Amino acid sequence: MAKFTKMFSDPLERKIALNQLKNILVTFVKVAILVGVGYVIVSPLIGMFVSSIASAEDIYNPMMYVLPQHPGTDKYELVLLRLDYFKTIGADLIYTCTLTVIQLFICSMVGYGFARFNFKFKNLLFACVVVMIVIPSYTIMLSLRLTFQQFDPLGLMTLINGKSLNMMGTVTPMYIMTLLGCGVKSGLYIYIFNQFFRGLPKEIEEAAFVDGAGVWYTYFRIMLLNAMPSVITVTVFSIVWQFNDTFYANLFMISEKVVISKKISTLASVIANQDKILNVTFQKQYTNAGIILVILPIILIYVILQKQFIEGVERSGIVG
């Protein structure tokens, strides 16, 4: 008791004790916030996973709480068959990764150009990039649909074939838009690269130019390598948004054999028609199993690249 009283009578020790108490309280609040936010984000996934492995006895068992008493993988076995999972996910990943590579190449060059070069109408063109970020895709969906339904740039198709080209039902519109820097969220990626390249010192390029390096060599061998955190950030964003995209897939009528996310919307009806499972609760279990299988590749990609992704977000100037 005397030691305790002495500690609080000494101003220095009292200050140290108060600082320790403050640190403990701050740590507790941080942990509470992280656990709360994590629960809000993860709990739907946990609920879907539990539902997907629960048996019929568990569904109608009022004593079951959180974990099923008779778990099974039969839902996943049927969903793998009905989704033609491995073939479809392979085609989707090839489609997604090729679009991502194109976006990295195009958006990084555009971002570098805005960050390092001065040219006419630079501010106007960058304003167009910002408009790409702000304006919803729904506002231009009709014009996009008509453009690729009757694709005829400069009248060349009519001159050659006598009619315009209908690209509906193919992935060609997505590749054309991505090559022209107008793909899914391309405006945001250009902005990320622009912010990152602006933060790199110009002395790096000046030293390369003194050594005789050209613009393209400097960009590919020096600047792009230094921008690797930004590249990782854009890679993760692009893969996730391309993989989950259903807006453009439905707009251009891309086959569900290429975009697996479109198959999820019809999975319940397919199982009802082919397997005669008409109970809505059971259909929801199969749908949950399908959703878990579809998001699994994205979770694996994020787990592998999470450190580089967080670093890239911090250094790209888009925090907050």
Q: Is 109 inside any structural domain?
A: yes
Which residues are bridge partners to 151 per DSSP?
165
* pTM of this structure: 0.80
The answer to whether residues 55 and 203 belong to one domain is: no
The answer to whether residues 136 and 40 belong to one domain is: no
Burial class (CB in 10 A: 0-12, 13-18, 19+), 152: middle
The answer to whether residues 292 and 145 belong to one domain is: yes
Residue scoring higher pLDDT (309 or 123): 123
pLDDT reported for residue 158: 67
Total count of domains within the chain: 2
Rounded Cα gap, residues 289 and 48, in angstroms: 7
**Closest-CA residue to 227 (of 198, 184, 186):** 198
Q: Is 65 inside any structural domain?
A: no
Q: Is 214 inside any structural domain?
A: yes
Q: Is 216 inside any structural domain?
A: yes
The answer to whether residues 199 and 283 belong to one domain is: yes
Hey, what are 82's tokens? 């009905």
For residue 319, name the pLDDT band (cuts at 50, 70, 90): very low
Q: How many residues does the chain have?
A: 320
Among 59, 87, 105, the domain boundary falls at 59
The answer to whether residues 54 and 81 belong to one domain is: no
Query: What are the angstrom distances between the C-alpha of 219 and each of 125, 223, 263?
Result: 21, 5, 41
The answer to whether residues 54 and 136 belong to one domain is: no
The parent domain of residue 257 ranges over: 74-315
The answer to whether residues 37 and 130 belong to one domain is: no
The answer to whether residues 41 and 187 belong to one domain is: no
Average pLDDT over residues 310-315: 64
pLDDT reported for residue 320: 42
CATH number, domain with residue 233: 1.10.3720.10
The answer to whether residues 12 and 79 belong to one domain is: no
For residue 96, name the pLDDT band (cuts at 50, 70, 90): very high
pLDDT single digits (tens) 9-64: 667 777 777 888 888 898 899 899 988 888 888 888 888 888 888 887 777 777 76
The answer to whether residues 8 and 156 belong to one domain is: no
